[in-house]
Copies of this chain bind each other. A is one copy, B any other.
Amino acid sequence: LIKLGVFDSGLGGLTVYRALRKSIPYANILYLGDTARVPYGTKSAATVTRYALEIVHYLIDREVEAIVVACNTASAFAMECLRKTCKVPVFGVVEPGAKAAVKATRNGVVGVVGTRGTVFSGAYQRAIKELSSSVEVFTEPCPLFVPLVEEGWFDEEITYEVAYRYLGPLIAKKVDTLVLGCTHYPLLKDVISRVMGGDVVLIDSADETSFEVKDYLECGGRLKDQELGGDQFEVTDSPSRFADVGRIFLDRNLEEVFQVNVTEGEEVDGSDL
């Protein structure tokens, strides 16, 4: 069985894990949540890149054969650097999301929501423009969405009001496709869809990314096993809260979650990359 490494700043990447598990049942998946340093979305490019480098080195030491960066902020800031330094293929969530958005839009006006880091990095904007320079892109950072998800306030008046506030400017721009550029946001799909209107297509990068990883592995002839793969969940802070909140993402209990140290090796210097 192939061994995939999947990482996120914390829990959000479990939406990507879930999509991968569904499209690629015959892989072992090692999921690493950097809960001791979560969130990445408010931090600088340099700091997020340093953290991502530490984690991919850790995952490579654990002998993964491909890595999925299941975090929009890390994908937005660090992909180039990670690809340069890694000897295994690295997949991010930004490119697949951008591709799906360009395919889905009918009027050529796409919205992107995400953390401050993701939005201000310009990564989605660049990826979409590269695919189709005629598509217009409008963005909004939505910093309250993550804590609303983690409170479990999915069907609350407050959540609708916050969503109206953030999404209003995108509705005004008449976007017909909205990229959910943060792994927590698919959990607010119902709220976001009601606020945006049923005609607006919501792009969940998790699904798109899992298809891309699957295509790659199939091309390489790596998906012949019929045996189902196993999971290992690891975090950098105490496992208890991860297991608790993980339930919101997976609809099941995470029984075994292990705490690990990803900074034990040599210090990683990403400054000259």
Contacts and interface: CB of A to CB of B under 8 A. Distances in A.
A49 B143 CA distance: 27
Interface string A35-53: 1111000111111000000
A142 to B, nearest CB: 10
Interface string A164-191: 0100000000000000000000000000
Contacts of A46: 238
B38 A36 contact: no
Contacts of A162: 158
Contact of A158 (B35, B44, B45, B158): B158
Nearest to A245: B42
Contacts of A238: 43-47
A162 B151 CA distance: 12
Interface string A62-82: 000000000000000000000
A158 B165 contact: yes
A140 interface: no
Interface residues of A, number: 25
Contacts of A84: none
A44 B259 CA distance: 12
A86 interface: no
A241 B144 contact: no
A161 interface: yes
A237 B38 CA distance: 13
A237 B43 CA distance: 7
A147 interface: yes
Contacts of A144: 144, 147-148, 151
A46 B38 CA distance: 15
A46 B158 CA distance: 34
A161 B181 CA distance: 27
A16 B147 CA distance: 25
Contact of A42 (B43, B143, B241): B241
B143 A150 contact: yes
27 contacts: A35-B43, A36-B43, A36-B47, A37-B37, A38-B42, A42-B241, A43-B237, A43-B238, A44-B237, A44-B238, A44-B241, A45-B238, A46-B238, A47-B237, A47-B238, A143-B147, A143-B150, A143-B151, A144-B144, A144-B147, A147-B147, A157-B161, A158-B158, A158-B161, A158-B162, A158-B165, A161-B161
